[in-house]
Structure formats: structure tokens, C-alpha cells
Structure 1
Amino acid sequence: MSRLRYIVIGAILVGGAAFWALTRPQQIDPDMFAGLISDPVRGEQVFLAAGCGSCHMAQGAQGDERLVLSGGQAFPTPFGTFVAPNISPDPVHGIGGWSVSALADAVIEGVSPEGRHYYPAFPWDSYRGMAPQDLVDLHGYLANLPPSPVASQPHDLPLPLQVRRGIGLWKLAFGRSGWIVPDDGLTDAEKRGRYLAEVLGHCGECHTPRNTLTGAPDADRWLGGGPDPSGRGRVPNITPGGLDWSEGEIVAYLTSGFTPDFDSAGGHMALVVANFAQLPDSDREAVAAYLKKVQAVR
């Protein structure tokens, strides 16, 4: 029995060490941004395409107040309620003291400046493909927004999910790598649309169904729609198997919010449209072209 006890204790120690090593938060190599100069004007386009303001503005903010990224919006899911933090340039309650590398750690690796994992409710799994120049430009744009002294609010999660170290295993098991739609035969415009949809616009975060146990997206049903995470209604299938709109109709929707049947975008999608309407026409056309290349989900 004494020998068995030592074996069990040894196995626990080895397993614990392996878990600690495998779940260690990863950080970006700062050299990735060496020599890159921020262009805040371009950064605004990245900000709009990525939808940063849509989640991080205060609930119900209108007009210029939408640029005060004080956070506080609650996002209910089957795993608990996540609350968007303050990402304004406030040096105490926001991200005013963050370097480009710190922002990259958060946006691309899902890691806080304190070395803690961010929950995948923050779409870092999509942002992983963000171009370094876009990240640098976004950093410059965010630094020029109005600061807010509002403290970030905690998430409302059950006890097991409050232990963030386990998110490292989620990243290993389910984290994305590479493109969903491969390069084969894509035009430059379709590749731009892919970047906007798969990375900056993170369309798959809402439009791709998820595993009910782990919350991992089902890549085989990319953009195939599914239950709304809030528990109310469904997110539509926007693959060619569920959306029969022409490219022109998709562009019109991303510009005006009106469908071919004269319905209008609602909920969070209305904010997405408001952002995309401010992008160049070519970007909306690129997304429409890309959606026609996505594998159809029936």
C-alpha cells in the first residue's frame, strides 16, 4: 500500500506539472512589430471591421458615445454571462498603458498583461490571423479615443469556469490554425473577403454552431448557423446552403441593413452593419464574394 501511495502521488505530481506546462499562456514575440509605424487613420478601418466598439461601448450608447469604450455590456451564454471590459485609453481602468505587444498578446493569443488567459467569448481565436500592421494601426487608433474612468465589471460564471488556467487546454484542443476556406482558386478580392470574414469580422464566432459541452465551434459546419448563445432565437446559416442572396444583395444588406425582402438587421447584427457600412465598397463586395466560396451547409 505504501508503494502504491507513492505511485499515485508521483502520477499526480507529473500530471500536474504537465497540465501547468501545457496550459502556460503564450505571448507574442515583440520583434513581430519591429519597424512598423502606426497609421491611426487605417486603424479606424481595422476598428470598424473588427467590431471593437460594438462590444466594448456602454450599453445603449449612441452617436459619439459609441467611441467611449468603457465596457459593461453583458453577453449571456450557456456557460455564464461575460461582461465586456473597459478598453478605453484610461491608464487605470482601461488599456492606456498597454504597448503594441501587450495588445497583441490579448488580441492574438488571448492573454492578459498579467499572464492570464482570456475566455474565448473574446474572439481572439479569430483575431489570431490579424496582420501585424493592422494590429499596430489599431493600437494607434485606440490610443486616440476618449478615456473612461469606469472600472471593468467581473464575469458571472460558475466556479469551475472561474479557473482560467484550463482555457489553455481549450486553446490546445480547439484553437484555430490557418484558413477555413483554402487558397485554391481564390481571387485577391475573395482573399480580402476571407480575411474580413474569418479574422477581423469574426463572423464564425456567431454564425458557426458550437459544441454544447465545450463551446468549441464546429469547423465542418462553418457559418452554418445555430442557436443564439443568449438562448433566444437562432443565428442564420449564411453559407450558400442557407443564403440564396446574390452578391449584390449581400452588399446592399451590409450597406443598409435591409434584406431583399425589406426586413432589417436587428440585435447585434445591426451594429455589424453600421460598422461595415463605413468600410470601402470594395470590402463589402469582397465579403460577398467570399461567402459564395464557403462550403454549403444544408
Structure 2
Amino acid sequence: MLRKLATIAVLAAIAGGLAFYVLTMPRTLPEATLAALPEGDAARGETMFWAGGCASCHAADKAEGDDRLKLGGGHVLKSGFGDFVAPNISPDRNDGIGAWSRGDFANAMLRGVSPAGAHLYPAFPYTSYTRMKPRDVADLWAFLKTLPAVEGRAPGHRLGFPFTVRRGLGLWKLLYLDPAPVIDLQTDDPQLLRGQYLVEGPGHCGECHTPRDVAGGLIQAKWLSGAPNPDGEGRVPNITGGKGGIGDWSQADIAYYLESGFTPAFDSVGGSMVEVQENMAKLTAEDRDAIAAYLKAVPAVDATGQ
């Protein structure tokens, strides 16, 4: 009897191991999708660059002017799981991503998988980027290739066990990696749809403005309702029309804030939002208006934990 139980336990362990192996496998884009990627247009890619805030994480801290285009990495993103360090994504072939292919870049952006076939940590917000159009990813890749190559690798992440085991991210992705829109707007208004695309996709606004559950996934029922500041100072604000949010801001107020950094009460942008606003100021007026229209259309959620 004991031998039979031991055999069952061993078989169960083997079956569990195989299930874990299959479920956690990094899943890349289909070959047909990779083959259909266009060459990319660098001019259009610059829009995605600023919308995505690439410089905010991958340029040196406090970089200004042309130095914001030197993407050598090193910025530290603090979290409850440890400190993540933004890598060098400049075109340097040794220390950056200059040796990557367009397909490698698309797999990183849309699936969170490295060229070596490993899961990337979602501190890189591919859970939002997965909603991007492959054409826009190709355009961004074309723009990144025009930027200066920066030598030097950024330091590694500072994480403790079990978060050092990347394979487990395969299970996390099954729960949280979803290219579907967060909000069902039930509209064909091109301005609203453009705003939704920019906010939910390349702009990844929800990554900071939405609270997370214990596993670090976004709580979509509380979309954009504010969250603890990972740096430990204050809170990231509610940007819905709910209590504690921006319900009394007009669409024009929001668009002007994104352009100028000034609120309707003549206060100015502060904290980590300074760089985000500077990025948004580089978009077209039409795109800022679209973002504002979307923010006025999302369901109002009251802020919590104030």
C-alpha cells in the first residue's frame, strides 16, 4: 500500500512538473505576425516614443534636452517585489538592443519575451504595450534605431526569491497579459478610440494610476482610480470622474494640462508626472484632445486609501 501511494505521489509530482513547464513556457508571436511586420517609419515612431514615455525610464535620471534620447538605462523602479532597473535600450550592439531584430523587439513589446526566450519582468509595461498595433511597434523600432548608441550595461534587478525565478511569470501572464481593451466604450467615435488606444496601450497610464492586487496585477474594476506611489511618497491620483478624481475638469482642462502642466486651479504638475507631462506635450494637439476625451468617458471610480 505504501509503495502504491509513493508511486502515485511520484507520478503526481511528474504530472505537476510537466503542467508547470507547459503553462509557464514563454509564448512568442506567430511566425505569420512576425513576417508581416513592416519596415517601420521613424517619424511615426517618434510619436510612439513620446506616448510610451521611453525616455522617462531608459534615459539617465534628470536628463534634459538631447540627453533624453540617450537610452542607457539605470533608472530604478521600486516595488513591493524588489527594485527593477531599466536596461540599456540604445542601439549599442553589445550593451543595448542594437543586435536585436525587429521581431525580437515585437516579441518583447507585445509578449514580454526576450530574444533569448525568457520572460521579461512586467516592470517593463508590456501588459499595456500588448494592446499596441504591430505597425506602431515597427515604427517605434525604426525610431529607436536612429538614436545614439550608449555604451555600458545597466545594473541588474535587485530581487529576492522567489521573484528571481522568471519561469513563474508564465503563470502570471496567463492571468494578466490580455490584449483586449480595458473599457468597452461601445462607440465608433475615432477620437475616443484613439484616446483609448493611447491611454490603454503605448501611454500605459493604468500602470501607475490603477491599484494592484497582491500578485501585482492591475485591478481593472478600479481602472485609473489612483494607487499608492511606488516611491512611498503620497499617492498616484485618481484620474476618473469619481470622488477624489478629476470630474470637475473639462476635456479642454485635461488637454491643456497635458500640454502645459497647469491645472484648472493654476497649480503646476509635480513629482514623477513632470516627465510624463513633458512627454505628452510632444504629441499633437489632436492626440492630447483624444486622451482627454477618453478620460472623460471612462467610468467614474471613487478613490480609495486616501
What's the TM-score, normalizing by structure 1? Answer: 0.97
| 2:149 paired residue number | 147
Structure 1 stretches of 4+ moved >3 Å: none
Answer with 35-44 or 236-245: which moved more. Answer: 35-44
CA contact (8 A) 1:46 1:134 kept: yes
In the TM superposition, 1:92-107 aligns within 5 A as 92-107=94-109
- 1:80 is aligned, of 79, 82, 86, to 82
Match of 1:179, as an amino acid? P
- Segments of structure 1 that go 5 or more residues without pairing to the other structure are none
What is the alpha-carbon distance in structure 2 between the residues aligned to residue 107 and residue 100 of structure 1? 11
2:266 is the alignment partner of 1:249:
no
CA contact (8 A) 1:88 1:94 kept: yes
2:202 is the alignment partner of 1:200:
yes
CA contact (8 A) 2:258 2:288 kept: yes
| 1:272 paired residue number | 276
| 2:164 paired residue number | 162
CA contact (8 A) 1:89 1:146 kept: yes
Q: SS where residue 272 of structure 2 aligns? A: helix
What is the alpha-carbon distance in structure 2 between the residues aligned to residue 67 and residue 35 of structure 1? 25
Q: CA deviation at 1:61?
A: 1.4
CA contact (8 A) 2:209 2:225 kept: yes
| 2:24 paired residue number | 23
- Segments of structure 2 that go 5 or more residues without pairing to the other structure are none
2:235 is the alignment partner of 1:217:
no
Q: CA deviation at 1:116?
A: 0.8
| 2:294 paired residue number | 290
What is the alpha-carbon distance in structure 1 between the residues aligned to residue 166 and residue 285 of structure 2? 41
CA contact (8 A) 2:84 2:158 kept: yes
| 1:234 paired residue number | 235
What is the alpha-carbon distance in structure 2 between the residues aligned to residue 100 and residue 157 of structure 1? 29
CA contact (8 A) 1:252 1:258 kept: yes
- Superposition RMSD on alpha carbons, in Å? 1.2
Q: SS where residue 160 of structure 1 aligns? A: coil
CA contact (8 A) 1:78 1:230 kept: no
2:266 is the alignment partner of 1:262:
yes
Q: SS where residue 78 of structure 2 aligns? A: strand
Deviations 1:87-136 (A, max 9, x none): 00000110001111100111110011111111111100000011111111
Q: CA deviation at 1:30?
A: 4.1
What's the TM-score, normalizing by structure 2? Answer: 0.94
Deviations 1:137-188 (A, max 9, x none): 1111101100011112111111210000001100112223411121413511
Deviations 1:52-101 (A, max 9, x none): 11110012212111100000000111111110000000001100011111
| 1:188 paired residue number | 190
Answer with 36-45 or 283-292: which moved more. Answer: 36-45
Q: CA deviation at 1:35?
A: 6.3
Q: CA deviation at 1:32?
A: 2.1
Q: CA deviation at 1:240?
A: 1.1
Q: SS where residue 87 of structure 1 aligns? A: coil
Q: SS where residue 193 of structure 1 aligns? A: helix
What is the alpha-carbon distance in structure 2 between the residues aligned to residue 174 and residue 133 of structure 1? 23
Fraction of identical pairs, as percent: 49
Match of 1:282, as an amino acid? E
Match of 1:14, as an amino acid? A
What is the alpha-carbon distance in structure 1 between the residues aligned to residue 22 and residue 168 of structure 2? 11
